[in-house]
Amino acid sequence: MAPPNSHDLDATATQEVVAPPTVEPLRAATPPLVVDGLEDAREQMPKLVPGTSIEALICSYSWPCEQALRIAMCESTMGQNPDAYADWNPNKGAFQIWEGHLPYLARVAGITNLLDDAQNVEAAWILSEEGTTWHRWACQP
């Protein structure tokens, strides 16, 4: 079969967006996820409330976990910096996602609240192209 001509292609076709993994709610007894090679960074990380570990949420995605943890730690002290959630701040949540990305994120993934940790991490996963590029962040892994 011959390759399609340009006039055969649908002009309205869009790039397929791969859905992020489904994340089950964490149980209170779930220990924090241990990541090899991050002992020094882990010592600097704030203690998180059991059952709400943003580390586990971040590492549940199919991206380089260590890199994503470094970005979130640098951008917002792993979501513990209150300025990361301030109304006046145009960069929102653990990954400090610029609110200007929200229309795109809403369209491709239904993300409407960048202050919600689960949606913020999903937004970072999308904007980092599944962890293959971090050029949108001031902090680098």
- Residue 17 within a domain: no
* pTM of full prediction above 0.95: no
Domain with 76 in it: 49-62+69-137
Whether the per-residue pLDDT at 85 is higher than 80: the answer is yes
pLDDT of residue 14: 52
Mean pLDDT of 4-14: 46
- Residue 18 within a domain: no
Per the structure, the count of domains in the chain is 1
- Residue 131 within a domain: yes
Which residue type, as a one-letter code, is found at position 32? P
> HSE of 76 in the Cβ direction (CA atoms, 13 Å)?
28
- Nearest Cα neighbor of 124 from 141, 137, 108 is 137
Q: How much of the chain exceeds pLDDT 90, in percent? A: 57
Q: How far apart are CA 114 and CA 126, in angstroms?
A: 13
